[in-house]
Amino acid sequence: MKLTVIGHWGGFPGPGEASSGYLFQKNGYNLLVDCGSAVLSHLQSYVQIKDLHAVLISHYHHDHIADIGPLHYGRLVSGMAEEGVPLLPIYGHTGDSEGFNRLTYKNVSKGISYDPFHPLRIGPFKIEFLKTNHPAECYAFRISDGESSVVYTADSSYKKELIPFAKEADLLLTECNLYAGQDGGGAGHMTSLDAGAIAKHAGVKECILTHLPHFGKHEDLLTQAKTIYEGPIRLAAKGLTWSVN
């Protein structure tokens, strides 16, 4: 599978960039995970809106769903310009019915609830779920294609259950919204040391830090995480790709 980072900012997008959005591709199938602010604009550098097959949403904070409305309009207009643009499935949890109800739009998209206790099949991908520690109900995803697996933490403060959940994943795509010494418990976010600890103890093959903060020097996040995790580690960036096979 191939992963492309569409947006990597926490909270709101930096200039010319986007908040949370990740494109997973395999054998021509295009799955968008989270659809934050400015994601729709940047997504089009990699795939046409009409060619998205499905969307998967971790939770209903603005920085993860702000562009759902524009996505609806994008599909609507694509369907006017060309026949055969199918109904877009958007998978989300039903713990927040107001959030979930925003996923369905006319005959353009349909919100589909996922059951976090059962793996979900979306195209070539199998998705497993873990509820995170976050003020809004939120799920981490383990996304596998039978050959490799990526664990995306979505938003969470440190949670030890993320370690077995991410065990020996090919990639840990972990939020890292805070620097060493900050307290993420109340905000529901991880520090660089938290992220590094999960990567180390889960024994993941590679790590990418994402959901980056709008303060401090991001290089420091990397330096701090590296004091714990010794494997390959990078900062997320617009257009950064990772792939196996």
Measured in Å, how far apart are the chain's first and last C-alpha atoms? 6
What are the beta bridge partners of residue 54?
Answer: 31
Alpha helices in 57-178 (DSSP H): 62-65, 68-81, 97-101, 162-165
Least CB distance to Zn ion at residue 5 (A): 14
- For Zn ion, the binding residues (CB under 5 A) are 61, 63, 155
How many angstroms separate the CA atoms of 101 and 75, rounded?
Answer: 18
Least CB distance to Zn ion at residue 15 (A): 18
CB contact at 8 A, 154 and 175:
yes
- Residue (59 or 75) nearer to Zn ion, CB: 59
What's the half-sphere exposure (Cβ side, CA atoms, 13 Å) at 71?
A: 34
Q: Which residue is nearest to Zn ion (CB)?
A: 61
Least CB distance to Zn ion at residue 200 (A): 23
- Residue (58 or 144) nearer to Zn ion, CB: 58
- Residue (62 or 106) nearer to Zn ion, CB: 62
What is the number of other CB atoms lying within 10 angstroms of the CB of residue 112?
Answer: 18
Least CB distance to Zn ion at residue 29 (A): 25
- Residue (17 or 63) nearer to Zn ion, CB: 63
